[in-house]
């Protein structure tokens, strides 16, 4: 496998910024978008449980309906693809069993042989101390996927803007998530920056390495 250079990596991350204005005339190609969808699926999560679902919104009508629930931010309607990151509420043993079955399918072996691992997860996430704040735990997992998606997009030359200025309850109602057992956490607009976006040329503001990094 050929890996990118450290220079390439840092140049792409410096190029990335939270895009305020997208060019609505530019659309992400199917090839690139398929790869970005795969980066969402390949995102890591604790235990590998993947307590999430990603809704990809490309319909102009749905984007328009979401905009009022997004502080009327133009990124929602002007971007090429709008991803709504959701979590599966109140994880159950059935979700764990689904994960264990998928693991056996892909890695070989049997579900019975993985009973110990299955029971460990259930005793922690479903019945243990973590079960009392399992939705908060799942939310932290979905932010891993968000970061993975944004970094991958930058490496492919795609602009993004994470969107926390949204109304999750109204998103849930509009997208029919409540009945499916999911709830909105955050969203991310993806596409290509407008030439008029003044934020594209501003210096990236970060603290000095010495302030935020410490080697022990």
Amino acid 60: pLDDT: 98
Integer Cα distance of 186 and 162 in angstroms: 7
Amino acid 177: pLDDT: 98
Amino acid 209: pLDDT: 98
The pTM for the full model equals: 0.97
Integer Cα distance of 204 and 200 in angstroms: 9
Residue ranges for the chain with pLDDT beneath 70? none
Amino acid 19: pLDDT: 98
Amino acid 178: pLDDT: 96
Amino acid 54: pLDDT: 99
Integer Cα distance of 140 and 54 in angstroms: 15
Q: Are strands 52-57 and 182-191 parallel, antiparallel or unpaired?
A: unpaired
- Residues 134-182: tens digit of each pLDDT: 999 999 999 999 999 999 999 999 999 999 999 999 999 999 999 999 9
């Amino acid at each position: 496998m050929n890996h990118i250079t450290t220079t390439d990596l840092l140049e792409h991350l410096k190029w990335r910024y939270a895009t305020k204005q997208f060019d609505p005339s530019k659309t992400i190609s199917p090839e690139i978008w398929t790869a970005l969808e795969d980066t969402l699926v390949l995102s890591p999560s604790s235990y590998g449980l993947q307590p999430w679902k990603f809704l990809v919104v490309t319909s102009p009508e749905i984007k328009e309906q979401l905009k009022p629930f997004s502080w009327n931010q133009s990124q929602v309607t002007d971007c090429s693809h709008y991803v709504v990151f959701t979590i599966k509420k109140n994880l159950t043993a059935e979700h764990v069993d689904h994960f264990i079955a998928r693991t056996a399918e892909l890695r070989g072996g049997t579900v019975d042989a993985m009973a110990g691992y299955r029971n460990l997860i259930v005793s922690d996430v479903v019945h243990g101390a973590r079960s009392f704040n399992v939705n908060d735990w799942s939310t932290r997992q979905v932010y891993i996927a968000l970061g993975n998606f944004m970094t991958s997009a930058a490496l492919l030359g795609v602009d993004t803007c994470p969107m926390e200025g949204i109304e999750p309850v109204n998103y849930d109602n509009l997208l029919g998530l409540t009945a499916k057992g999911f709830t909105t956490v955050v969203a991310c607009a993806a596409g290509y920056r407008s030439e008029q976006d003044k934020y594209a040329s501003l210096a990236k503001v970060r603290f000095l390495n010495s302030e935020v990094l410490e080697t022990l």
